[in-house]
Amino acid sequence: MQDTSFHNITIDLQEHCVNITTNPELMSFLAQPDNGSVKLARYTRSQYETIFHKPLKISEASLAVEILIHAYLDRISLNALAIQKLFPEKISKPILALINKVHERTAVINCGETSVDSNRFVFDDLAPFHTLIFAALGKLA
């Protein structure tokens, strides 16, 4: 395990896997112009190769898309939890359980190679559409 940071974003590098902490620094960085998810993906892949002396078997586009999807799902879940605190009667227990589960799974973005990550195919399949995803998010990408 090797920890590094990029613009105060915590990145934990492990063989075949990287973990990126979803925190205010990440969200602030993604909200800046010039597609922060690609910069973060590029940096992460570079650090991985420097430390492990081999490339991370996740494409830049796939990693950038995964970062975005997990980061914004985390933001949505946190906003829903804030709403639930203000209006507890508006969100049912099953929905609240789902929101909590989403938040638990997105607080740290776990990006693994195919050999260790059973959902890698989702982001690999979305990677060819990365420019559309970035365009849809505008400056939030």
Indicate whether 119 pLDDT > 80: yes
Q: What is the pLDDT of residues 17-55, one digit of tens each?
A: 999 999 889 988 988 877 789 999 999 999 999 999 999
123 — pLDDT class (breaks 50, 70, 90)? very high
What tokens appear for 3 in the block? 């920890």
Please say if the pLDDT value at position 103 is more than 90: no
What is the model's pTM?
0.87
* Residue 96: both structure tokens together: 């609240």
Task: Indicate if the pLDDT at residue 83 is higher than 80.
Answer: yes
Question: Per-domain residue ranges for the chain?
Answer: 2-71+107-140
